[in-house]
Amino acid sequence: MDSYHIIGGNRIFGSHKLTGAKNGVLPILAASLVTGDVCTIHNSPDLLDVNTMLAILKELGCKIQREKDAIVVDSSQLTQTYIPKVLGKEMRSSVFLLGPMLTRCGVVEMSQPGGCAIGARPIDLHLDALRKMGAEIKEEDGSLVCKSTGLKGTTIRLDFPSVGATENIMMAALSAEGETHIVHPAKEPEIEDLQNFLNACGSCVEGAGTGEIVISGKKPLHGTDYKVIPDRIEAGTFLAAAAATKGELLLENAAPAQMASTLAKFREMGCSLKIEQDKIYLKAPNRLKAIREIKTLPYPGFPTDMQSQFLTLMALADGQSKMTETIFENRFKHIDSLRDMGAIIEICGCSAKVTGVDQLQGCRVEAKDLRGGAAMVIAGLAASDETIVENICHIDRGYDKFEVALKNLGTKIERIQEDERK
């Protein structure tokens, strides 16, 4: 496994252009196979998870080309309905193939999806909805076989606004007879992005971002050219790195309107922000201020994907802060590593109480999951001496050339490849 070697104490200074959203491009790539045509997805990040999705699409028979930040998916000739276990287990987003494959082929076989181990992450909401629409689903020995001889539009009320389930239902509903209503859907910006992509392909989807999404099925679909929205979590991560290192950062190609809850927390911690339509400028204070409580919530609340990075900021802030995680039950795994670096954190159920320290000390730590790994990099950039973050394959799943961008911003970080360490 590769690792990052970081010499801390250098402030982030400069500008960074954001890539397209990981959580936007993954469902859109899956949805592209519904069209049976050529889709060109611009502003696509170069990430491990995206490569895994492309490998799955290739396995199913799609032809894929990459041209700079564009991915061209030609799904005219599907040859397979089976997603190999080794690929499906790589990431949770393989579950996004259920809806599109039911729509396109009426059948799909795959293993239960993998992904970051940040909680039990069942897919009951996905499967219940697809069953309600008329799919027949067999679950045996960790594998799933979904079949349908014709889905039917219906009303699906989600008990929890699951992002993935909302997206899967939207994609399955494309082939359903009549209207599908999703009540209490997820409202994340990536849902609206998927709606916009599907409509650019000829579908009729309305209501993303509101309390009800309506999909009119059986519209003729075609390929399209589409630009994915900027990555709001990448944006938040770089801003957090600037905040932790007393730095100054201008983000370009950003969508600040989709980051209101995160930006508000940077302000509360004492950062000055200037916002333009697609730019965010942050200047960190000399010492961050503690924050009474941050609670992760479905959008438009504070995103669970920014929880780990803000815990690092809280660890460095002046005073006591509290972080409450309400979305995933096992998302505090990086806290032990932060403690090894000198952070004072007490876990009480789903909350972490943090007493800020003046300085963290570099040491050898491990990335346990994607965002927790990014949080350890941020801690290392702010810490004294050297920090080694091991197991960075988790970080590679979600950040495009992370260390290159951080180095360009004036920090000292090197990727050490496993074979160089031997």
Catalytic residue IDs:
116
Q: Which stretch binds ligand UD1 (CB under 6 A): 55-63, 121-129, 282-290, 399-407?
A: 121-129
Compute the least distance from the CB of residue 15 to ligand UD1, in Å. 26
Residues 6+ apart with CB under 8 A from 14: 249, 250, 408, 409, 410
41 makes contact with ligand UD1 (CB under 6 A): no
Q: Is 160 in the site for ligand UD1 (CB under 6 A)?
A: yes
CB nearer to ligand UD1: pick between 8 and 303: 303
Coil vs helix vs strand at 284: coil
Q: Does 93 bind ligand UD1 (CB under 6 A)?
A: yes
- The answer to whether 53 touches 79, Cβ cutoff 8 Å, is no
Segment near ligand UD1 (CB under 6 A); pick from 115-123, 171-179, 307-315, 361-369:
115-123
Q: How many residues bind ligand UD1, per CB under 6 A?
A: 23
Place of tokens 């924050």: 291
List, as own/partner pairs, every contact residues 219-222 make where C-beta atoms lie below 8 angstroms and the sequence separation is at least 24, other chains included: 219/174, 221/34, 221/35, 221/36, 221/37, 221/174, 222/35, 222/37
Q: CA 316, 320, 321, 322: dihedral to nearest 10 degrees?
A: 130
How many whole angstroms separate alpha carbon 398 and alpha carbon 187? Answer: 21
Choosing from 18, 165, 170, 243, the residue that interacts with ligand UD1 (CB under 6 A) is 165
Nearer to ligand UD1 (CB atom), residue 163 or residue 405? 163
Stretch that binds ligand UD1, among 65-73, 114-122, 131-139, 238-246 (CB under 6 A): 114-122
Angle at 240 between CA 234 and CA 241, to 5 degrees: 90
Q: Any contact of residue 126 with ligand UD1 (CB under 6 A)?
A: yes
Given a contact cutoff of 8 angstroms between Cβ atoms, the answer to whether 44 and 20 are in contact is yes
Q: How far is the CB of 362 from ligand UD1 (least distance, A)?
A: 28
Q: Is 323 in the site for ligand UD1 (CB under 6 A)?
A: no
Is 119 one of the binding residues for ligand UD1 (CB under 6 A)? yes
- Residue pair 113/92 in contact (Cβ under 8 Å)? The answer is yes
Q: Is there binding between residue 35 and ligand UD1 (CB under 6 A)?
A: no
Q: Is 254 helix (H, G, I), strand (E, B) or coil?
A: coil
Should residue 40 be labelled a site residue for ligand UD1 when binding is judged by CB under 6 A? no
Nearer CB in complex with ligand UD1: 12/392? 392
Strand partners, 182: 156, 213
Which token pair is 278?
């697609």
How are beta strands 136-140 and 143-147 bridged, if at all? antiparallel
Between 302 and 321, how does the x/- string for binding to ligand UD1 read (CB under 6 A)?
A: --xx----------------
Give the alpha-carbon dihedral of 163, 167, 169, 170, to 10 degrees: 140
Reduced to 3 states (helix: H, G, I; strand: E, B; else coil), residue 366 is: strand
Q: Between 98 and 242, whose beta carbon lies closer to ligand UD1?
A: 98
In the set 125, 146, 228, 288, which binds ligand UD1 (CB under 6 A)?
125
Q: What residue ranges bind ligand UD1 (CB under 6 A)? A: 23, 26, 92-93, 119-126, 160, 162-165, 186, 190, 304-305, 327-328
